[in-house]
């Protein structure tokens, strides 16, 4: 299962995102849940880095199964909007594939 831990401050702004695990929905290379979750996360972070002044601290495992984004400035409204859109997309995936992806908002 993919777990996505999203840390929110008191105002609901994202400060930290950790995605771990594998969906195991299908064989490697055929897993639409894993591919979708990865595309949403990577696309969101690429959008933040390409469209805003934000340069978050990123850590990941080259083998897959671990991606950590931290140091997102809560006052960067554009970056926060992209992160909120990411959450909506991941929640939609969770609604459809709840046995394979779990969001944990903290």
Q: So which residues are the catalytic ones?
A: 22, 34
CA-based radius of gyration for the chain: 13
For CA atoms 93, 98, 102, 106, give the dihedral sign.
positive
- H helix runs in the chain, sequence order: 32-51, 77-96
- Phi/psi region, residue 17 (left: phi>0; alpha: psi -120 to 50; beta: rest), is beta
């Amino acid at each position: 299962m993919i777990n996505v831990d999203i840390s929110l401050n008191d105002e609901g702004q994202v400060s930290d995102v950790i995605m771990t695990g594998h969906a195991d929905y299908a064989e490697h290379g055929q897993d639409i849940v894993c591919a979708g979750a990865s595309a949403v996360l990577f696309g969101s972070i690429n959008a933040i880095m390409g469209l805003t002044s934000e340069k978050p601290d990123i850590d990941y495992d080259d083998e897959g199964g671990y991606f950590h984004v931290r140091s997102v400035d809560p006052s960067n409204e554009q970056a926060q909007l992209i992160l909120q859109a990411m959450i909506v997309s991941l929640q939609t995936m969770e609604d459809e594939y709840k046995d394979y992806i779990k969001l944990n908002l903290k």
